[in-house]
Amino acid sequence: MDTFNETGLNQEILAAVSDLGFTTPTSVQQKAIPHLMNSTDDLIACAQTGTGKTAAFGLPLLHHTDIHSNKIQSIILCPTRELCLQITKDIESYAKHLKGFRVIPVYGGASIDTQINALNKGGQFVVGTPGRTLDLIKRKRLRLGNVRWLVLDEADEMLSMGFKDDLDAILSTIPDNKQTLLFSATMPNEIVGMAKTYMKNPVEISVGSKNVSTENVSHAYYVAQAKDRYIALKRIVDMHPNIYAIIFCRTRRETKEVADKLSNDGYNSDALHGDLSQAQRDHVMSRFRNKQLQLLVATDVAARGLDVHDLSHIINYNLPDETDIYTHRSGRTGRAEKKGVSLSIVHTREMNKISMIEKKIGKKMERKMIPLGKDICKKQLFKLIDTVEKVEVNESQIEAFMPSIYQKLEWLDRENLVKHFVSVEFNRFLSYYEDAPDINVNIKKSDFKSTRNEKQGKNKTIFTRFFINIGSKNKLTPKLLLTIINQNINERNAEVGKIEILKSFSFFETDEAYKSLILKSFKNVEYEGIKLLVEESNKKKQDSGRDDNRGRDYNRGRDKNRGREDNKETRFKRARVKRSKF
């Protein structure tokens, strides 16, 4: 299938594809479209963001849709508002010549009444986030009894964000004879489990190797002390004057801090995180897409669904905890046959992650030295000279001012004139980097082999085990627990060991050196209205019996208190009955 004309799509859809300038299908489209045009078997597609996934499922589903019926026939679930709106926009562009077709987006952060009104008018497609979709189902405003196709887009992120229970509830309202299409950038074990639960003998396709980053992306890292991480970031940005990048941070708090620092230091940047309203998010993204912003600082969750072209760099301010997330980040650059660069700022204790990433992407990551002040000044100077050399001169408009300019500058010879001119724009860099120290860490990657094998070596990390009073019923996942820990301690180097998520409570391990910090940081902390209780576990790591007792004691205490409350309520009711007799 070399062209869209060979797909068998109807003429109205092909006309829209032509209007969009699409000629040759992408790899995922070449594999998915023929399957969906000719088979009702479920489909698992592993492909990175930006490979044309929406058209891969959207075009054939439009072809099969009954335009004359206003009942929902396809539902597309995705993790974020941004992705929901982007998919909706794409579907509308593919269906521009299909009279009577309507796609309805439903997502949180917007008026539910407006979305209910849209559903009442009817439509063939719904694109929704799990939370708002389930809310509308419970209100009996969204009925999915006629759905023939279910699409789970960015399925890995929906699971990592804790939407599994919502997905279970939504899918229970959809007919069993539907065709399920699962699209995911990564394929962790949770996705395999989802496929077994929700799908029947699915056909599996992938674009390239699973979880491997694009061949057009080069990978490099810088080693810095934790205290120098922000300084290293600024030097990396200054060394690339034309950079157009997303900087990934681990937490919302860190995202805000880095973005604020960059803005205060004169960089053209802004932040994207979960605390922004939809209007604020749209404003930031509009500026970034139009290249009014050069740097976007974001968390992984907030960046899901972003459709941004021509990114020159991805910068990992912190390496993610999972290598799959690294490949997903780096896949945002190097698209459309263009070259991209993925750079990481690595603390000395994170060197073991480099080897894990290299194994995952099938490439070596080059270690680069953090630029010195003189190197940055040289780079910026030549950028300025190139700009001056290539600037367009409007002779007719400037000619009238030239005599006055010559007269004003006649006391300067050519050499001094150039020095004065360059200094106007360049003095800031010269003064800032005049005495800038070398912040590179004098260490070799091979020196960290022991870090990767700490459990077998003499420098074995000693972990302390902690109890925390939330669990799976609070939609807690290992990734979410890591986020909670990171958000409440200021030390990013605390190593986290084994995590166990139980129903009403959980356990996690951290480096013993951070025990006091953990206990101090979680005083007076709330999560989803629950006051968190974090205590050191009373048992040694290998003694699982006492660990279970700690959990039973916690639940027993809750049951005991609940019993007291029940007795109090019973006594109160009896008193009311007794008083009513008089």
End residue of a domain, out of 206, 234, 260: 206
Closest CA to 342 of 320, 327, 353: 327
Residue 443, pLDDT score: 66
Domains of the chain: total: 3
Same domain, 129 and 88: yes
Residue 456, pLDDT score: 41
Q: Are 186 and 323 in contact (CB under 8 A)?
A: no
In 361-501, at which residue ranges do the beta strands (DSSP E only) sit?
366-367, 463-468, 496-501
Residue 448 pairs in a beta bridge with none
User: Does the pTM of the predicted model rise above 0.75?
Assistant: no
Residues whose CB falls within 8 Å of the CB of residue 317, separated by 6 or more in sequence, listed in order: 229, 233, 247, 248, 249, 250, 254, 258, 297, 345
Q: Out of 394-408, 459-473, 553-567, pick the least confident.
A: 553-567
End residue of a domain, out of 372, 397, 421: 372
Same domain, 119 and 154: yes
Residue 464 Cα to chain centre, angstroms = 30
Same domain, 230 and 356: yes
Q: What angle do CA 343, 347, 351 make, to 5 degrees?
A: 80
Percent of the chain whose pLDDT exceeds 90 = 39
pLDDT in tens, 146-160: 999 999 998 877 876
Residue 439: what residue type?
I
Residue at 492 is within a domain: yes
Rounded distance between C-alpha atoms, residue 469 and residue 454, angstroms: 30
Rounded distance between C-alpha atoms, residue 563 and residue 555, angstroms: 12
In 103-194, at which residue ranges do the beta strands (DSSP E only) sit?
103-106, 125-128, 149-153, 179-184
The torsion region of residue 337 among left (phi > 0), alpha (psi -120 to 50) and beta comes to: left
Closest CA to 247 of 313, 324, 328: 313
Same domain, 178 and 221: no
Q: Are 87 and 127 in contact (CB under 8 A)?
A: yes
Q: Are 499 and 507 in contact (CB under 8 A)?
A: yes
Residue 214, pLDDT score: 60
User: 89 exposed, middle or buried (CB, 10 Å; 0-12, 13-18, 19+)?
Assistant: middle
pLDDT band at 122 (very low <50, low <70, confident <90, very high): very high
DSSP state of 293: -
Residues whose CB falls within 8 Å of the CB of residue 228, separated by 6 or more in sequence, listed in order: 439
pLDDT band at 115 (very low <50, low <70, confident <90, very high): very high
253 to 249, 259, 318, 374, 520: CA distances (angstroms): 9, 10, 13, 33, 19
Which one has a higher pLDDT value, 406 or 541? 406
Torsion of CA 219, 222, 226, 231, to 10 degrees: -110
pLDDT of 215 over the 80 cut: no
**Mean pLDDT computed over 307-323:** 86
Residue 570, pLDDT score: 40
pLDDT of 458 over the 60 cut: no
Residue 75: what residue type?
I
Tokens (6 digits) for 429: 């860099």
448 to 433, 444, 464, 500, 549: CA distances (angstroms): 31, 8, 23, 28, 39
Residue 539, pLDDT score: 47
pLDDT of 510 over the 90 cut: no
- Which CATH number characterizes residue 514's domain? 3.30.70.330
Same domain, 271 and 149: no
- Which CATH number characterizes residue 116's domain? 3.40.50.300
Domain that holds residue 40: 4-206
Q: Out of 181-185, 373-377, 432-436, 516-520, pick the least confident.
A: 432-436
* Axis crossing angle, helix 252-264 with helix 229-238, rounded to the nearest 10: 50
Same domain, 32 and 126: yes
Residue at 406 is within a domain: no
Residue at 415 is within a domain: no
